[in-house]
Amino acid sequence: MNRFWRRLVAAGIAPSIVVLGLTGCGSSSKGSISTTTAAPSGTTAQSGTTAVSGAPTGAPLVVGLECSCSGPYASAFTTQQPIINAWVAYENAKGGVDGRPVKVDFMDDGTNPGTSLAQVTKLVQDDHAIAIMDASFVDSAWSTFVQQHGVPVIGNLLSSALMYSNSDFFPEGQTIDTVSGAVAAGAKKEGVTSLGVVYCTADAVCASFGKAIQQAAVAAGLKGPFALKIPDAAPNYTASCIAAKQGGADGMFVAGASTQWEAFVASCSAQSYTPKYIAESGAVVNGMLNIPAFNGLLTIQNNLPAEDTSSPAIQTMIDAVNKYSPGTVSSPGWGPFSTSEWAAGLLFADAAQAGHVGSNPTSAALLTGLYSLKGDTLGGLAPPLTFKQGQPTSVNCWFYLSIKNGQYTPLYGNGSFCGSSSS
């Protein structure tokens, strides 16, 4: 199971939730690893935050990062710590966040709810973290606690249902509840007239997401959506491909792991069936680049994809990660979705700057900064972000990325598309 499906299963997404997209515009051991990295100055500011000249001074601004970095879903987070470490070093190299050094305390809950609550309690009460970054599959264990203590959760696990349903959570990109509508909009934009869906049988979440895509396709005006369940492992998917072809689907979304994607596409290619394939960001792996049938694949991305090196903000991120966490960009865990972790850091920095936390290092000041952000794109890495006090934030905007001639290729410029207006 790949990164997207691990996160989707953990989020417990149901079709009644996912279809909401139609309506809106190296793992550590359990415990804390404190990271406060000072580095030479001279890098360029990436987001909307104004760089502060000189070395940061005063006590550090502490951010807690709660991660399911070990346990059954550990492979989803292999680049989590290296990217965040690079962001910390990058911020401190250019003067810190609002003049203060930033420090991230990492916690690994091993996907254990009791452990996770205990760790977040320590981060808030003992470490005095003014924000939490969420990379935990058991974030529901502590969501009430942090909200009661007025500590905002800033980004990272965009597939968590709490990112769009809890007003104390602040997403840095598209939230999972809007993906189905984005898939349908992308299909229509690419000229698909009938969007087919095949989905895995081993987990009910696959069927739920597949049904949501069907409903979204109908709402987008696509005719006769074809849906078929397929086994997780089979010698081939020839029968399913023939059925999809006979069903008239000229576009196809596979709700399953990347291994199923690859096997299904291979079987369909052998039958001379080559629909437009559409995928969610986390279902795309670099191994697809060298498979001819994936040429032209359209993917829906939560943030500006990390492969869009035409963006100065992406290039700044890559340069910083190469400098402070060498080897990460070339590792198997790096992909189009790697922007999300970096963008979460930038969202903290922009909110801290806006809330003047340098002179008032509290969660309350950080919240003031978050609510003051209006259409913040984090230097182009995110859809426009605006947060309203007391209201959860569903982000119904996304980016497009394609595979063309063995390379990731941004589509339609590097701006975001929102809701039905993008179709």
Domain residue ranges of the chain, discontinuous segments joined by +: 31-174+309-392, 178-301+400-422
Residue 290 contacts by C-beta under 8 Å, 6 or more apart in sequence?
406
The stretches of 133-283 forming alpha helices (DSSP H) are 143-148, 162-165, 179-189, 204-219, 238-246, 258-270
State yes or no: pLDDT of 248 exceeds 50.
Answer: yes
Q: Are 249 and 257 in contact (CB under 8 A)?
A: no
For 146-186, what is each residue's pLDDT tens digit? Answer: 999 999 999 998 989 999 999 999 999 999 899 999 999 99
The mean of the pLDDT values for the chain is 84
| Joined tokens for residue 355 | 């809330």
- The pTM (predicted TM-score) of the whole model is 0.84
Q: What is the DSSP letter of 95?
A: T
What per-residue string of b and e applies to 157-186 under the rule 16 or more CB within 10 Å gives b? bbbbbbbbbbebbbbbbbbbbbbbbbbbbb
Q: Which CATH superfamily is domain 178-301+400-422 in?
A: Response regulator (3.40.50.2300)
pLDDT of 45 reads 29
Instruction: Tell which wins on pLDDT, 110 or 254.
Output: 110
Between β-strands 397-404 and 407-410, what pairing exists: parallel, antiparallel or unpaired? antiparallel
pLDDT of 133 reads 98
How confident is residue 379, by pLDDT bands cut at 50, 70 and 90? very high
pLDDT of 54 reads 66
* Amino acid at residue number 317: M
How confident is residue 233, by pLDDT bands cut at 50, 70 and 90? confident
Count each helix (H run) and each strand (E run) in the chain, helices first. 13, 14
For 91-135, what is each residue's pLDDT tens digit? Answer: 999 999 999 999 999 999 999 999 999 999 999 999 999 999 999
Instruction: Tell which wins on pLDDT, 174 or 19.
Output: 174
Asked if 31-174+309-392 and 178-301+400-422 have one fold, the answer is yes
For 311-336, what is each residue's pLDDT tens digit? Answer: 999 999 999 999 999 999 998 888 88
For 340-373, what is each residue's pLDDT tens digit? Answer: 999 999 999 999 999 999 999 999 999 999 999 9
pLDDT of 318 reads 98
Average pLDDT over residues 279-283: 76
31-174+309-392 fold: Rossmann fold (3.40.50)
Q: What is the residue whose two structure tokens read 């994809």?
A: 305
